[in-house]
Structure formats: structure tokens, C-alpha cells
Amino acid sequence: MTDHKIILITGANKGIGFAAARELARAGHTVLLGARDPGRGAEAAAELTAQDLDVRFVHLDVTDPDTIKAAAGLIDAEYRRLDVLVNNAGISRDRPHPPADLPVAALRETYETNVFGVVAVTNAMLPLLRRSPAGHIGNVSSGLGTVGFLTDPDSPLWRYANLLGYNSSKAALNAITLIYAHSLRDAGIRVNALSPGFCATDLNGHTGHLSADEGGAHIARQVLSPGEDTTGVFLNENGGTYPW
């Protein structure tokens, strides 16, 4: 077994996911670029393969069980294992609604991608991750979902504390990360939350102070960081960890 890894990234046709895919492929790994839109996914993968990078488009809509099953089947047939799963796909439907006015349908839509989609993809990929000598699941999260942030009015990002759907879904994702970390520890599969930092992306109307390229580089570095015992933590984009 070499250090070469098979890595699946969901929601990777643009933004942070695309940048992470590029960085990980540049590091010499095979990257499976998951995207729900076949046209955009294939185009994104082609852009990277044109740079002589080992990237392959995989049709994967985290809210569609059929595409999840098909993606797992493809990976099994072609690679027999999965070393790293990056659950990156995420949405926000909060703006312009204050919490009391957010339609429940919008909240459900957010959870379908940010929470239920992560669980569905993780469970489907677990048999493949168990075949890796050092499986790693990285859930792209946000400090907006931490108790520390949600209770700190002095935080520079306090103005975002009222995002009911996004923040609560990331809080749920953080709990899911800890639960899977505990349950998979004996199997040797690490599970951590990953922070790209506050990046300017379509999700936040490009209001972040970091670029998507910078966020993707942070995710790639966290994914490749050594530490077989590092599991059940929220990795900080600047090194170390965040409090939950």
C-alpha cells in the first residue's frame, strides 16, 4: 500500500469542493468529483483532467438514494476501496428570512442536504472505507454551528447567529461527526469536522474574507494531515482544533 489515496468529495463541481479536489489531485491522489448536475460535474472534472490531474466525475446527489447507491457501486467496481470521504455538499436557504419567518419547507430542504445527505452518503461508503488501511471521513462544517459561537455576542460573526437553517444544520452535523467518530474508532476510521474558514462562495453571497481557493487548500491540508489517532475533533483551518 502506498500513500496514494482514493478520495470522494461531494458537491465538488465549484467553490470550496472544487478547490479541494484540485489540491488533493495535485498532491498525487485520485479524486472522485461528486456533483448532482452531470453537465457541471463533467465540465469541472474535465477542467482538472486537462491539467493532467487524476480526477473523475461521479454523479452523486446527496438527496437522491439512487445516485448514492450507484456511486458506491462504481467506486467498488473500479477501485475496490475508498480512503477518504469528504462530505462537502451544503446549502443555505435562510436569507432573507429571520428565524420566525423561515418556511419549514426551506428548513427541511437544508437538512436534506446538510444532515440527512451526509448520513446517507456516509453509510453507503462505509463498506468501502472499511477496506482502507486508514479510512478518514471529513465533514465540512462551520463555526456557526458551535455552541461557543451561538452563545458569544462578542464574536465578530455574531450578525450571522440568527441563521436558523444553516447554523442548526451544522450543529447537527457536528453531533453526527462525534457520534460516528465514537462508533468507528475501533474500526480504525477517523471522523472529523473540517473548517475551510469563512470563504466567499455562492452559499453566502460571496461575503467571506477568504477565497474558495484558500478554503479548498485548508480542507485538503486537513484531509492529508497525519495523525491516525486524531478523530472526533473539529479541525481549525489555521491548525489545531476548534471547541465544539
Cβ of 97: how many Cβ atoms within 10 Å?
Answer: 16
Domain membership of residue 221 as a residue range: 6-242
The three cell numbers locating residue 192 = 472529523
| Structural domains counted in the chain | 1
Q: What is the DSSP letter of 84?
A: E
Q: Is residue 53 part of a domain?
A: yes
CATH number, residue 90:
3.40.50.720
Task: Give pTM, 2 decimals.
Answer: 0.94
**What confidence tens digit (pLDDT) does each residue in 148-182 have?**
888 999 988 888 899 999 999 999 999 999 999 99
Which amino acid is present at 220? A
Catalytic residues: 166, 170
Interstrand relation of 234-235 and 241-242 (parallel, antiparallel or unpaired): antiparallel
In a domain, 177, yes or no: yes
Asked, for residue 1, whether it belongs to a domain, the answer is no
Residue 213 lies in a domain: yes
Query: Quick check: bond before 196 cis, omega within 30?
Result: no
Residue 234 in any domain: the answer is yes
Instruction: Calculate the average pLDDT of the chain.
Output: 92
pLDDT one-digit tens code per residue, 181-206: 999 999 999 999 999 876 556 555 54
> Which ranges in 36-113 belong to alpha helices (H)?
38-49, 65-79, 104-111
Residue 153 falls within a domain, yes or no?
Answer: yes
Q: Is the pLDDT of residue 5 over 70?
A: yes
Residue 90 Cα to chain centre, angstroms = 8
